[in-house]
Structure 1
C-alpha cells in the first residue's frame, strides 16, 4: 500500500510540476523570440529609412557603408534592393537563397510581414525580417535582414536547463515529502493490522450459527486496498469472536442459573420437611439457612432474567413482540401506584403521583413498562428510609415518553451513582439484602425496547431514576 500511495503522490506531484514548468518554458521562449524580432525589426526600419533617403538623393554609398558595418558588428546578413529588384547594398546576403528571394518579393508587394515562429533550442539558425522601402502608396525597394538566432536559442536553452533543474529538485523534494507522509500515515495502520491479526489469532473460532448470522464484512461493503481489506477482515473476525464470546458467557450464566434452580428447589423441600424435627435450640440457625436458600434462589432468578434480557435474541424478540404494542404510560403509572401504596405505607414512606399530561402513549407493552417500573419503586421503598417521599411523574417530549421516580431519601454517594446499573453493585450505605441485579435488568429491558434507564442524584439528597422510552409511532 505504501508503494501505491507513493506512486499516486509522485504522479500528482509530477503533474503539478509539469503544469508549472511547461507554461514557464513556453513563456521564456516567446519572450526571447519577441525580443529578437523587435530588435531586428527596428534595424530593418532604420535601413528602410536610409534606403529611402538614398533613393531620393541617388547616393547609396552611405547606405552601403552602414550595411557593411552592421554585418561586421552583429554578423547578420542585410540586403537592400531598389524598386526594380536590383541590389542597392548587400552585407553577406545571397540572392540565390529562396527564403531571401521570397522575403524580398513579399516586401516589394508591401505584404504584411508574417508572425515569426517561436524559437526553440533546436529551431532554425536564422530568421528573416523584411521591410518595404517607401510608403504604402509607392514602394521603392525592400530591406531584408537574415538574423542569426544562435544567441537567442542559447539563452532559451540555458533558461530551460535551469527550469529542468528546478523541476528535478522540486520532484526530489516532493518525493521525499511523499515518502515521509506515506510512512507517517501507514505506520500506525501497519501496526494496527498486525495487532488485530495477532489478537484475532488468539480468539476462539466463532460458532457456526454466529458466522451465518454475521452481517456483510466491512471489506465486502466498502472495498479498498488489500492492506485495508486485511485490517477490515481481521476486525470483522475479532468483532465476531468477541460477540460470540459474550453470547457464550451470557448463555453460560443462564444455563448455570437454570441448572442450579432444581437442586435449590429440592433443598428447599428438604428444609421444609425438616422444620418439624428442628429443636428449639436450632430454630434460629434453621431459619437463617432457609433465608440464605431463598436469597440464593432470588439471585439465580435475577441472573437468569438478566442473561435473557441482555441477549441479542431478547432484543430481537422484544422488537418483534412490541412492534405493535403500546400503552398509556400515565395509566400504567397509576396502576403501579395502587400496587405499591401499601408497601410504602408499611415502610413509613409516602408515594405520590406528580401532575402530568392526561395521556402519554409509549411504544412498549403495559406489562413490560410495569416490570421496569417495579424495580426502582421496590428500591425506593426498601432503601429510601422512613419518612422519605417518592414522586412518580410522566413527561412527554417530541418522540419520547419519560417516566421519573424521584425520592428524597438517603440516596447514595455521588461517586456511586453511575455504578448503580452495574451488575451485582449495591450502594455502600444500602441495608442488607438485594442482589444488585434489579436496575441492570430494568436497564436491559428498557434498552431492548429502544429506550434508556439512567440514575441521577437529587439535591440536597435522594435519587431520581429516569426511564426514557420511544413514543408510539416512532421508529427504534
Structure 2
C-alpha cells in the first residue's frame, strides 16, 4: 500500500512541478528569442536607412564600411542589394542559397519574412532578418542579415538547465515529504489492520445471515478493503454476540419460570402442614419465591425491550397513540392505588407540564383531555407508553410517601411529545439520579421490594421507539420522570 501511495504522490508532485517548470521554460525561451529578433531587426533597419541614403547620394562607400565593421564585430553576414536584386554590399552571404533568394525577393516586394517565435537549444544556427530599402511604396533594394542564434540558444539552454535542476530538487523534496507522510499515515493503519485481522481470525463465522462487506459498496486499495472486511466481520460478530446475550437472558428467564411456578404450587400445598414454629421461615421462603418470580418477569420484559431488530421486536413505523388519552387512562387506573398509599394523583393542564424546580403541590388540578382534539399523536403504541407510565407511577406510588402529591403532565413541542410524572415526595440523593435507570439499582430511600429493573425496562422501551427517558429532581424535594417520544401527523 505504501508503494501505491508513494506512486500516487509522486505522480501528483511531478504534475505540479511540470505545470510550473514547462511554462517557465517556454516563457524564458520566448523572451530571449524576442530579444534577439528585436536587436537584429534594429540593425537591419539601420542598414536599410544607410543603403537608401547611399543610393540617393550616388555612393556606397560608407555603407560598405559600416557592414564590414558589423561583420567583424558580430561575425554575422550581411547582404545589401539594389532594386534589381544586384548585390551592393556582401559580407559573406551565399547568394545561391534558396533561403537567401526567397528572403531577398520577399523584401523587394516590401514583405517581411515570417520570424521564429521561440528558439530552443536545438534550433537552426542561423536566423534570417530581411528589410526593404526605401520608404513607403518605393522599394530601392533589400537588406538581409544572417543572424547567429548560438548565443541565444546557449542562454536558453542555461536557463532550462537551471529550471530542470530546480524541478529535480523540488521533486526530491516532494519525494522525501511523501515518504515521511506515507509512513506517518500508514504505520498506525498497518498496525490496526494486522491487529484487526488477527482478532477477526479468532471470531466465529456469522450464522444464518451473510454480511454485506463495505468493500462491496465502495472498493479501494486491497489493504483498505481487507481492513474493511475485517471490521465488517467484527461488527457482525459483535451484533451476533449481542443477539445471543439478549436471547440467553430471555431463554434463561423463561426456562426458570416453570420450576419456580411448580415450587410456588408446592409451597402453597404445604402451607397448612407447616407447624407454627416454622411459619415465619415458610412465609420468608414464599416471599423469596415471589420476589424471584417478579425478577424473572422483569428480566423477560427487559430482554424484549432491548431486543435488536433481528428479533422482530423493533417498533413499527405505524405505531401511534394519543399520549393525553393514555395518560388519562393510567391516572384512572392508578387512582385507587394512590388513594390507598395516601398520595394525591392529579393531572397538569394540557399546555403545561411540571418542570424541575416547580412546586408540585401548588400545581392546579386539571383533567387531561379525553380525546385528541389537536391532532397530536406520539410515535409509540398505547401499550408501550402505558407500560412506561406504569413504571413511573408505580415508583411514585410506592416511594413518594404518604401525603405526597403526584402530577402527570403532557407537553407538545415541534416534532416531540413529552409526558412527565413529578411528585413532591422524599426523592433521592443527587448522586443517585444518574444511576436510577441502571439495571438492578435501587435508591437508598426506596422501601423494601422491587427488582431495580423497572426504569431500565421503561428506558429501553422508549429508546426502541426513538424516544428518551430522563429522571430529574424536583424542588424543594421530589422526583420526576420525563418520557419524550417523536410526534407523528395523522
TM-score, structure 2 length as denominator?
0.90
Contact 1:308 1:314 in 2 (8 A): no
Contact 2:129 2:147 in 1 (8 A): yes
Gaps of 5+ in 2: 352-368
Q: CA deviation at 1:438?
A: 0.7
Partner Cα separation in structure 2 for residue 315 and residue 382 of structure 1: 34
Q: Which segment drifts farther, 185-194 or 368-377?
A: 185-194
Please tell me the root mean square deviation across aligned C-alpha atoms, in Å.
2.0
2:397 is equivalent to residue 376 of structure 1:
no
The answer for the alignment partner of 1:352 in structure 2 is: 346
Q: Which segment drifts farther, 274-283 or 368-377?
A: 274-283
2:469 is equivalent to residue 453 of structure 1:
yes
Partner Cα separation in structure 2 for residue 137 and residue 450 of structure 1: 94
1:336-415 alignment, distance < 5 Å: 336-356=330-350, 358=369, 359=372, 360-415=376-431
Q: CA deviation at 1:377?
A: 0.6
Q: Which segment drifts farther, 132-141 or 368-377?
A: 132-141
The answer for the alignment partner of 1:437 in structure 2 is: 453
1:79-228 alignment, distance < 5 Å: 79-206=79-206, 208-209=207-208, 211-212=209-210, 214=211, 216-228=212-224
Contact 1:28 1:156 in 2 (8 A): yes
Greater helix share, structure number: 1
2:230 is equivalent to residue 234 of structure 1:
yes
SS at match of 1:133: strand
Gaps of 5+ in 1: none
Contact 2:254 2:296 in 1 (8 A): yes
Partner Cα separation in structure 1 for residue 290 and residue 117 of structure 2: 107
TM-score, structure 1 length as denominator?
0.93
Offset from partner CA, 1:292-327 (integer Å, 9 cap, x none): 11111111111112112211258734534xx54433
The answer for the alignment partner of 1:27 in structure 2 is: 27
Cα distance, 1:387–1:195 mapped onto 2, change above 3 Å:
farther
Partner Cα separation in structure 2 for residue 367 and residue 102 of structure 1: 105
Runs of 4+ residues over 6 Å off in structure 1: none
The answer for the alignment partner of 1:55 in structure 2 is: 55
Cα distance, 1:75–1:14 mapped onto 2, change above 3 Å:
same
2:7 is equivalent to residue 7 of structure 1:
yes
Q: Which segment drifts farther, 168-177 or 338-347?
A: 338-347
Partner Cα separation in structure 1 for residue 17 and residue 390 of structure 2: 73
Q: Which segment drifts farther, 250-259 or 66-75?
A: 250-259
Q: Which segment drifts farther, 95-104 or 291-300?
A: 95-104
The answer for the alignment partner of 1:72 in structure 2 is: 72
Q: Which segment drifts farther, 150-159 or 413-422?
A: 413-422
Counterpart of 1:327 (choices 303, 321, 326) is 321
The answer for the alignment partner of 1:36 in structure 2 is: 36
Partner Cα separation in structure 1 for residue 83 and residue 416 of structure 2: 104
2:296 is equivalent to residue 300 of structure 1:
yes
Contact 1:306 1:444 in 2 (8 A): yes
Aligned length: 468
Partner Cα separation in structure 1 for residue 92 and residue 303 of structure 2: 109
The answer for the alignment partner of 1:462 in structure 2 is: 478
